[in-house]
Amino acid sequence: MKAFEYERPVGVTEAVALARRAGSRFLGGGTNLVDLMKLGVETPDLLVDLTGLDLAEVLEQPDGALRIGATVRNSDLSANDAVRARYPVLSQALVAGASGQLRNMATVGGNMLQRTRCPYFQDVTKACNKRVPGSGCPARAGEHRNLAILGASEACIATSPSDFAVALAALDAGVTALTTEGEVSLTVSDFFRLPGDEPQRDTNLPPGALVTALTVPRLDWATRSAYRKVRDRASYAFALVSVAAAVDLDGDRVRDVRLALGGVAHAPWRATRAEEALRGGPATEEAFSAALRGELEAAEPLPHNGFKVDLAHNVAVRTLTELTGVPA
Amino acid sequence: MTVTDRRTPVRGGVGTSAPRPDGVAKVAGRFAFSSDLFADGMVWGHVLRSPYPSARIRRIDVGPALAIAGVHAVVTASDVPGVNAYGLEHTDQPVFAEDVVRFTGEAVAAIAADHPETARRAAAAVVVEYEPLEPLVDAEAAITAAPIHPDGNVFAHLLISHGDPAATGDVVVEGTYEVGMQDQAFMGPESGLAIPADDGGVDLHMSTQWLHVDRDQVASALALPPGLVRMTLAGVGGAFGAREDVSLQVHICLLALHTGRPVKMVFSREESFLGHVHRHPCRMAYRHHATRDGRLVKVEARMVFDGGAYASTSGPVLTNACCFAAGPYAVPNAVVEGWAVRTNNPPCGAMRGFGAVQACFAHESQMDKLAAALGMDPVELRLRNAMQTGDRLITGQLISGTAPVAELIRTCSAAPLPPQDPAPDPMARPGGSGRSADPDRVRRGVGFAVSIKNLMYSAGFDDFSTARVRLADGAATVTCAAAEVGQGFVTLAQQIVREVLQVEDVVISAADTSSIASAGSTSASRQTWMSGGAVEGAARAVLRRREAGETGEIEETYEHHHKPTTPLGADGQGDAHVSYVFAAHRAVVDVDLDLGLVRVVEIATSQDVGRVMNPVQVTGQIEGGIAQGVGLAVMEEIVMDGGLVRNASFTDYLIPTALDMPEVTVAALIEQPEPGAPFGAKGVGEPPTISSSAAVAAAVRDATGLDLPRIPIRPQDIALAGS
């Protein structure tokens, strides 16, 4: 591990100012960054520890939204009464991620910024366009069983590893960040990006910006929401495919729906095409299946990850079926 | 000396669940593992490893590393004073690579520095110019490919021809099976401390499976007389075969001698994955012949085991796989051909089950296929062919010991099945905490498997164990170099001495190479028999002197041997084994067909144990072995890509969590005392792993109707189309 300096600012202004120094990185729970430092993937000169900042509160806003401070721990948020009652999908997504020990350390802001588990990204002796732009992508011809089937580029087929972000994408959540120029707000969908020819950028966050809060808008019908995750063992593994869904039912018809897929793309994949197909239509398994097939028409699987197309279809249809109470 | 009342047996003798002497310290976090070692003036070692599976080394410049403040030494192949090679069977693995590297992770240089981080940075500063070569990663191709080592690419080629090779049956089934590369995945990383001594020698404290064979390899590389390399067992955090080969032993001793300081090294998890052998991945093509009424006529098999870059124990692993290719059945005719080959993949060697695991997956898959072809119940087919005492292995060897195969099959298959309904708790359904399986999409399956494996080393590699028992002041002290790796030998040694001498206070002294001769390896399920036999022999010798009226301190040393074995002949026939152990497993699984998820609900097992020495420890071995068997069946595999390991971490190499672990039902422990074994006890460590994987695979086939010729079975293998 490269030597680094360590600062523990007492306020966000100081934190953002420190982040202007070259080679700085914000440190939350350290559950991803420190691992990457050990691997030599991240080589910061300065760690700006955020855990002393006053950003650890979950506050109900006058408009009914929930404002979640960036240093709230994953475990705390998953156990939050308002989250559990109003956004089951969010609580379930948090609990589906990592292990209890990691969730106790991890911060929600850091969760949004965790890097891909692509094996080539993590191996500094190998080429990777995300780590070293222009060096190439061995994953396409190599081990890509758990890499992207949607929205990938020639340069990068990495997936976003976060469960939490998938639920946030479905809930139209927002990200608030602070730079030396002032506050920036992005929707989660705009926050994450597809790799294109700049896979080194995971997000559209301006350089040096400090994520201060996540805002989940009021959505009364999100009480009918769920997160399901398919992985290689019963706990403590990254998703092969996951789904975050919320449904607003009008009798046996879908009045409104939110659907996002995880484990399939460089960003949480908001299934807008499927949502449009479902909105106003019947809440039947056939309709769910057709909508997902339509959404997944855009999939471009590689030789070893084609199974994720069917997996995404199956788990999403299941989740929608469960939420709408349609008998299987 | 106190006089013990022989009418009230001493507590904690043989057959009781005597507590482990190291148990409380381990669960309380007070036990010192090898990674906890410390010495004054100590510096830290680190190994620079090859990032390439195959490359020529053009140049090594250690200058930039030596220039870093705090670096005490950088050593390479040219600094090895003795033989720059080690290996358990063949000394073909360089201590440090010279002109070429043959696998990703091969040692190129080692550094000693004032801090582990300094050592890691120094390793990064060593300049190594590599010329990457096309790696040889296909085991089948390796048989005929240009040699990648002066010793050639074939570690072992074995032919077994038994009975009439031209025999045929009424019903013939064929299949080709594969087993992925499994890791032992112990928790305690490789670690040790080497302390230079005034006499020019070195004291090495190390977690290992066999002190004396390590010592000999270290001494050879360092050009020291073995007596100047003194090894002491440090706390071992699991082994399962992965500590049988030398890892960092030579490196830290060399650094200690170079720096004149104690040198400690602890592998990171990634280094541990790269720095020890794994279970051989293999491909096995089978053909079974049987009569219409389900009698086995002939078994044909061709097995290719990928041994990776260096020999390790590839030869004996292959011998085991071939000897047990037909399973625990009486088979009159067999033709088995096996290859263990060298590739640029990671070296493979010993892991719990040692060749029998791979063969079991294949022969049990074949038995199910045969049962289906015959329209016969698979349990009935196994019963009809079950081996018994007096039968012969396909190597022609007479099974003279106990072989309660039919009893195992009957008791295990008769265990009540768990409740039919999928668990109401979604966490206990396929997918676990992902909440992904709906009860109405889950299908139940049941599978059965039976296994055979040898106890002790074989094929003429006859070893022994030595133990000393001293009785003084009413307390006994046992000295034995058997490596306690977690299996509980220290408990058994106490129990045996208590039983023989009727003294309750039994102390186990540290295992080392200076105080006593070899105990052999903690592997091949052999320490209960071999070191147990040595401890019993020494204790009985003490007892005889006490009964002859001696008082005061009595000390006896005993060397225990098993009956001799011979190598297999050119036709693969011969008395290569000492004794056999058998087990039966029945797996019940729930499978979500849409999502490809498997939940192993229950494993019921019956095991041939000879004699239960310690009920709690037997249960512990059964549960632990089943965890590894379940892991191999549904998740564990080192993912290779062109000679590169792609999942060298516990985040990416998945082993079962508590939530993945099934209920374990011990249907029966069959106690038929094994002739020649101390107290009639057979080793119990390996069988739980061997047939549990095959049983789980059979159960998943039963639930899905799929062929599933490869383990681990993963979601994409079940019902998902892929492209």
Residue A39 CB neighbour total at 10 angstroms: 16
Q: How far is B258 from chain A (nearest CA, A)?
A: 26
Element (H or E) spanning B472, and its range? strand B464-472
Rounded distance between C-alpha atoms, residue B441 and residue B595, angstroms: 9
pLDDT of residue B435: 81
Given the candidates 3.40.1390.40, 3.30.390.50, 3.40.50.720, 3.40.190.100, the CATH classification of the domain at A224-324 is 3.30.390.50
Tokens of B180: 């992925």
Residue found under tokens 């059965």: B448
Q: How far is A206 from chain B (nearest CA, A)?
A: 30
Tell me if residue B535 falls in helix, strand or coil.
helix
Determine, yes or no, domain membership for B603.
yes
Picking from B635, B641, B720, the nearest residue to A232 by CB comes out as B635
Picking from B441, B657, B720, the nearest residue to A310 by CB comes out as B720
pLDDT averaged over every residue in chain B: 96
Picking from B427, B434, B599, the nearest residue to A230 by CB comes out as B434
Nearest to A163 by CA among B426, B647, B591, B436: B436
The angle formed by the CA atoms of residues A206, A209 and A212, to the nearest 5 degrees, is: 130
How many helices (H) and strands (E) chain B has is answered by 15, 26
The pLDDT tens digits of the residues spanning B185-220 come to 999 999 999 999 999 999 999 999 999 999 999 999
Cβ–Cβ below 8 Å for A233 and B433: no
CA dist list (Å): B31 to B393, B480, B486: 44, 20, 12
Spatial neighbors of A61 by CB under 8 A, at least 6 apart, are: A67, A215
Cβ–Cβ below 8 Å for B434 and A242: yes
Cβ–Cβ below 8 Å for A328 and B438: yes
Is the separation of the CB atoms in B276 and B313 below 8 Å?
no
Residue B266 has pLDDT above 70, yes or no: yes
Residue B702 CB neighbour total at 10 angstroms: 21
Cβ–Cβ below 8 Å for A145 and B656: no
Please tell me which residue of chain A has the smallest CA distance to B642.
Answer: A142
Is the separation of the CB atoms in B10 and B90 below 8 Å?
no
Gyration radius from chain B CA atoms: 26
Cβ–Cβ below 8 Å for A119 and B659: no
Q: What are phi and psi of A131, to 5 degrees?
A: -85, -45
All residues of chain B having their beta carbon less than 8 Å from the beta carbon of residue A95 are 433
All residues of chain A having their beta carbon less than 8 Å from the beta carbon of residue B590 are none
Spatial neighbors of A244 by CB under 8 A, at least 6 apart, are: A89, A93, A166, A167, A169, A170, A171, A225, A226, A227, A258, A259, A260, A262, A268
Pairing of strands B171-179, B154-162: unpaired
Interchain contact B654–A (C-beta under 8 A): yes
Nearest to B592 by CA among B476, B467, B713, B448: B713
Is the separation of the CB atoms in B592 and B568 below 8 Å?
no
Cβ–Cβ below 8 Å for B433 and A230: no
Determine, yes or no, domain membership for B677.
yes
Tell me if residue B464 falls in helix, strand or coil.
strand
pLDDT of residue B719: 73
Please give the order of strands across the beta sheet that includes B71-75: B71-75, B107-113, B43-49, B263-266, B191-196, B202-206, B229-233
pLDDT of residue B342: 98
Give the A:B interface size as CB pairs under 8 Å.
113
Picking from B433, B599, B641, the nearest residue to A143 by CB comes out as B641
User: Considering only CB atoms, which residues of chain A are within 8 Å of chain B?
Assistant: 1-2, 38-39, 92, 95-96, 117, 119, 123, 125-126, 142-143, 145, 226-240, 242, 301, 303, 306-307, 309-311, 314-315, 318, 322, 328
Residue A328 has pLDDT above 50, yes or no: no
Picking from A227, A232, A235, the nearest residue to B714 by CB comes out as A232
pLDDT of residue B53: 98
Residue B2 has pLDDT above 60, yes or no: no
Confidence at A243, pLDDT banded by 50, 70, 90: very high
Q: How far is B418 from chain A (nearest CA, A)?
A: 20
Residue B651 CB neighbour total at 10 angstroms: 17
Proportion of chain A in helix, strand, coil states, percent, rounded to 5: 30, 20, 50
Domain boundary among B561, B587, B618: B561
Confidence at B546, pLDDT banded by 50, 70, 90: very high
Region A270-281 average pLDDT: 98
Confidence at B5, pLDDT banded by 50, 70, 90: very low
Is the separation of the CB atoms in B221 and B254 below 8 Å?
yes
Domain boundary among B518, B535, B561: B561
Picking from A92, A117, A310, the nearest residue to B721 by CB comes out as A310
Domain boundary among B561, B590, B608: B561
How does B556-569 read in b/e, with b if 16+ C-beta sit within 10 Å?
bbbbbebeebeebe
Confidence at A326, pLDDT banded by 50, 70, 90: low
In this structure, are B439 and B520 located in the same domain?
Answer: no
Q: What is the DSSP letter of A94?
A: H
Interchain contact B269–A (C-beta under 8 A): no
State the burial class of residue B204 (Cβ atoms within 10 Å of its Cβ: 0-12, 13-18, 19+): buried
The pLDDT tens digits of the residues spanning B318-363 come to 999 999 999 999 999 999 999 999 999 999 999 999 999 999 999 9
Spatial neighbors of A218 by CB under 8 A, at least 6 apart, are: A63, A64, A65
Cβ–Cβ below 8 Å for A233 and B438: no
In this structure, are B543 and B683 located in the same domain?
Answer: no
CATH number at residue B519: 3.30.365.10
Cβ–Cβ below 8 Å for B641 and A240: no
Cβ–Cβ below 8 Å for B715 and A309: no
Rounded distance between C-alpha atoms, residue A312 and residue A2, angstroms: 40
Determine, yes or no, domain membership for B246.
no
Cβ–Cβ below 8 Å for A318 and B714: no
In this structure, are B593 and B661 located in the same domain?
Answer: yes
Proportion of chain B in helix, strand, coil states, percent, rounded to 5: 25, 25, 45
Tell me if residue B204 falls in helix, strand or coil.
strand
* Side-chain half-sphere exposure of A4, counting CA atoms within 13 A: 24
The pLDDT tens digits of the residues spanning B248-262 come to 999 999 999 999 999
Cβ–Cβ below 8 Å for B644 and A307: no
Interchain contact B436–A (C-beta under 8 A): yes
Determine, yes or no, domain membership for B136.
no
Is the separation of the CB atoms in A172 and A187 below 8 Å?
yes
Confidence at B722, pLDDT banded by 50, 70, 90: very low
pLDDT of residue B7: 53
State the burial class of residue A103 (Cβ atoms within 10 Å of its Cβ: 0-12, 13-18, 19+): buried
What is the residue range of B666's domain? 402-455+579-723
B195 forms beta bridges with: B203
Q: How far is B129 from chain A (nearest CA, A)?
A: 14
Residue found under tokens 């692509």: A118
pLDDT of residue B1: 42
Picking from A95, A236, A311, the nearest residue to B657 by CB comes out as A236
Nearest to B433 by CA among A78, A167, A317, A228: A228
In this structure, are B676 and B699 located in the same domain?
Answer: yes
Cβ–Cβ below 8 Å for A240 and B639: no
Determine, yes or no, domain membership for B40.
no
Q: How far is A210 from chain B (nearest CA, A)?
A: 28
Interchain contact B440–A (C-beta under 8 A): yes
Rounded distance between C-alpha atoms, residue B264 and residue B250, angstroms: 12
Picking from B117, B647, B659, the nearest residue to A119 by CB comes out as B647
In this structure, are B447 and B471 located in the same domain?
Answer: no
Instruction: Read off the pTM.
Output: 0.96
Cβ–Cβ below 8 Å for A96 and B435: yes
pLDDT of residue A129: 98
Spatial neighbors of A103 by CB under 8 A, at least 6 apart, are: A73, A74, A75, A78, A94, A95, A97
Is the separation of the CB atoms in B670 and B608 below 8 Å?
yes
In this structure, are B611 and B683 located in the same domain?
Answer: yes
| Residue spans of beta strands (DSSP E) within A217-322 | 225-230, 241-250, 253-262, 269-270
The pLDDT tens digits of the residues spanning B123-181 come to 999 999 999 999 999 999 999 999 999 999 999 999 999 999 999 999 999 999 999 99
Cβ–Cβ below 8 Å for B657 and A235: yes
Picking from B51, B438, B660, the nearest residue to A233 by CB comes out as B660
Residue A195 has pLDDT above 90, yes or no: yes
Nearest to B531 by CA among B678, B414, B699: B678
Interchain contact B427–A (C-beta under 8 A): yes
In this structure, are B593 and B699 located in the same domain?
Answer: yes
Q: What is the DSSP letter of B440?
A: G
Region A277-304 average pLDDT: 97
Determine, yes or no, domain membership for B476.
yes
In this structure, are B535 and B451 located in the same domain?
Answer: no
Rounded distance between C-alpha atoms, residue B188 and residue B202, angstroms: 23
How many independent structural domains does chain B possess?
2
* Side-chain half-sphere exposure of A164, counting CA atoms within 13 A: 27
pLDDT of residue B284: 98
The pLDDT tens digits of the residues spanning B470-524 come to 999 999 999 999 999 999 999 999 999 999 999 999 999 999 999 999 999 999 9
Tokens of A94: 């948090």
Interchain contact B656–A (C-beta under 8 A): yes
All residues of chain A having their beta carbon less than 8 Å from the beta carbon of residue B715 are 230, 232, 240, 307, 311
Please tell me which residue of chain B has the smallest CA distance to A140.
Answer: B641
Gyration radius from chain A CA atoms: 19
Determine, yes or no, domain membership for B366.
no
In this structure, are B720 and B598 located in the same domain?
Answer: yes
The complex's ipTM works out to: 0.94
Please tell me which residue of chain A has the smallest CA distance to B436.
Answer: A228
The pLDDT tens digits of the residues spanning B401-431 come to 999 999 999 999 999 999 987 667 888 889 8
Interchain contact B659–A (C-beta under 8 A): yes
In this structure, are B556 and B643 located in the same domain?
Answer: no
Picking from B440, B595, B647, the nearest residue to A311 by CB comes out as B595
In this structure, are B722 and B619 located in the same domain?
Answer: yes
Residue B4 has pLDDT above 50, yes or no: no
Confidence at B434, pLDDT banded by 50, 70, 90: confident
The pLDDT tens digits of the residues spanning B282-313 come to 999 999 999 999 999 999 999 999 999 999 99
Picking from B434, B594, B651, the nearest residue to A229 by CB comes out as B434
pLDDT of residue B420: 83
Confidence at B8, pLDDT banded by 50, 70, 90: low
Cβ–Cβ below 8 Å for A233 and B656: yes
In this structure, are B474 and B517 located in the same domain?
Answer: yes
Cβ–Cβ below 8 Å for B657 and A234: yes
Pairing of strands B202-206, B191-196: antiparallel
Determine, yes or no, domain membership for B528.
yes
Q: What angle in degrees, to the nearest 10, is found between the helix axes of B405-414 and B378-385?
A: 160
pLDDT of residue B723: 33
